[in-house]
Amino acid sequence: MNIPSDLNTFIPSMVGVGGTYSITDGVGRIYSPASVSTKYEKSVLVGPGVKVEMKLFARAISGVGGAVAIDYLPLGRGGGSVDITSPEWREYVVSFTTPLSSPENLRVTFAIGNFAAMGAGTFEFHTPRIRIGDTDLGAPRILARGLILLDSGVPSLNTNYQADGIKALSYDAATASLTVKMRGNDGAGMRLHPLMIAQLTDDNTTLIGRRLHALCGRYNRDDGTAKVTFVDGGTGQLQDVSGLGNVYLTFRAEI
């Protein structure tokens, strides 16, 4: 998803004194003395596991030039940065993918500037483009996964296996269904519903020979929940698994 990113939508800021910033005919210019941070920045709401990217054209005028950066607060403002050093106009790109363990409704800040630790510099820039990407990474992105244990109907994640993105589990014996809570519509532009797979394992040998199936679907975009329903393959009837001891299944959702 492309985010409106005209230079006039960026907010100027300065920490220290002596720096200057301006926008003339769509071209921005920043000068910052040493130990001063002078920049334009824009914050965007994203969620866990999202690739964010900013591109722009820029050139260094004097000193160390400047940089384009992504500030990600859980990493101590360390999402990524690229220095602007060439005296000729070039395209610069900085990108970052937020971890699946990120807080919901996290704000990532895109910054164009000369930062305090860089040294004195002047640079110009134009045409910034911000993109929040969910499905254009060239490969499926995992939204949630894990090995789930239903112990007499009480669900939990098996911590001996990789698990990401599953926020809560609950089981309803009356409907023979397991509810898996993942990320919902957090405003980051997640346009498509995830593909979901639930697969019973043979860790409980008492299930071997049973025609038990786990059917997965009914994703709710608003609250991020999906349902896994257990069905007897012989009768086609719902099968409450709370009386079957330990039941293990793998769950995976990807976009």
Lowest mean pLDDT among 75-79, 127-131, 158-162: 75-79
Domain boundaries, the chain: 2-133, 142-254
Which DSSP category does 139 fall into?
S
Q: Is the pLDDT of residue 137 over 60?
A: no
Which top CATH class is 2-133?
A: mainly beta
pLDDT band for 189, please (50, 70, 90 cuts).
Answer: very low
Lowest mean pLDDT among 98-107, 186-195, 235-244: 186-195
Which letter, b or e, does each residue of 42-76 get, where b requires 16 or more Cβ atoms within 10 Å of its Cβ? bebebbbbbbbbbbbbbbbeebbbbbbbbbbeeee
Cβ 117 vs Cβ 64: under 8 Å: no
> What proportion of the chain, given as a percentage, has pLDDT over 90?
50
Q: Is the pLDDT of residue 191 over 50?
A: yes
Contacts of 92 (CB under 8 A, 6+ apart): 55, 56, 57, 58, 68, 82, 84
Cβ 65 vs Cβ 123: under 8 Å: yes
Cβ 194 vs Cβ 254: under 8 Å: yes
Cβ 87 vs Cβ 29: under 8 Å: no
In tens, the pLDDT along 87-127 reads 999 999 999 888 777 766 677 899 999 999 899 999 999 99
pTM of the complete model:
0.56
Q: Is the pLDDT of residue 135 over 50?
A: no
Lowest mean pLDDT among 140-149, 153-162, 172-181, 237-246: 140-149
Q: Is the dihedral of CA 149, 154, 159, 160 positive or negative?
A: negative
Rounded Cα distance, 17 and 156, in Å? 55
Looking at residue 184, what is its pLDDT? 62
Rounded Cα distance, 240 and 152, in Å? 10
Looking at residue 188, what is its pLDDT? 42
